């Protein structure tokens, strides 16, 4: 997927799970070197509603530490697993100065029965300027090899974005504030 984005000259935002960052820190360094934005997506991909406030604090600390060490930067964006914030989670995100992020277009590409065409069609229905598109580049928390369908859907999706006169871009705190 990094190769596809590089060929298209597009920067994306990758929300990283800390335990996966610990496994492949060089991949995170490559993402940063290619100019992609990095955000947090928890440490263990546990839904926030399953965590006590103290466990949530540890989860966020460990995630920020893993990503900070691998990427060499402090992140400012946080996307919760399954897209569900709790009051405690949202408060902790904001208290840390992070920006909470959700999405408008979900490819549901992590499912076993997802196909490249289906992913592209699902996202295309929600393509509007400023909308956040959710895709997954791994299968650690989804169907085995689901990332292959996402990768196959990426180029046609980028073509649809261009055909509609839109521009794919990495999400930043600044771009999110401008979209409000």
Angle at 81 between CA 94 and CA 70, to 5 degrees: 75
Contact 42, 77 (CB under 8 A): no
Q: Which of 13, 135, 106, 138 is nearest to 67 (CA)?
A: 13
CA distance 47 to 32: 26
- Burial of residue 105 (CB within 10 Å: 0-12, 13-18, 19+) is middle
Are 101 and 130 in contact, with CB atoms under 8 Å apart?
no
Domains of the chain: 1-102 (3.20.20.370), 106-167 (no CATH)
Q: Which residues of 108-147 are buried (b: 16+ CB within 10 A; e: fewer)?
A: bbbeeebebebbbebbbeebeeeebbbbbbbbeebeeebb
Per-residue pLDDT of the chain (180 residues), as tens digits, is: 999 999 999 999 999 999 999 999 999 999 999 999 999 999 999 999 999 999 999 999 999 999 999 999 899 999 999 999 999 999 999 999 999 999 999 999 989 899 999 999 999 999 998 889 999 888 777 778 888 999 999 999 999 999 999 998 887 777 666 554
Tell me the pTM.
Answer: 0.91
Contact (CB, 8 A) for 15 and 79: yes
CA–CA dist 52, 15 (Å, integer): 22
């Amino acid at each position: 997927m990094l190769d596809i984005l590089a060929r298209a000259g597009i920067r994306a935002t990758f929300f990283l799970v800390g335990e996966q960052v610990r496994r492949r820190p060089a991949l995170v360094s490559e993402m940063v070197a290619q100019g992609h934005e990095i955000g947090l997506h928890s440490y263990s991909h546990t839904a926030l509603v399953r965590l006590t406030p103290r466990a949530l604090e540890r989860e966020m600390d460990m995630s920020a530490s893993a990503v900070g060490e691998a990427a060499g930067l402090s992140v400012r964006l946080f996307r919760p697993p399954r897209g569900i914030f709790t009051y405690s989670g949202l408060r902790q995100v904001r208290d840390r100065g992070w920006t909470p992020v959700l999405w408008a277009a979900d490819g549901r590409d992590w499912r076993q029965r997802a196909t490249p065409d289906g992913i592209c069609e699902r996202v295309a229905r929600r393509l509007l300027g400023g909308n956040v598109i959710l895709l997954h580049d791994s299968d650690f928390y989804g169907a085995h090899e689901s990332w292959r369908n996402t990768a196959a859907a990426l180029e046609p999706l980028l073509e649809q974005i261009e055909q509609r006169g839109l521009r794919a871009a990495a999400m930043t705190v600044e771009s999110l504030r401008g979209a409000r």
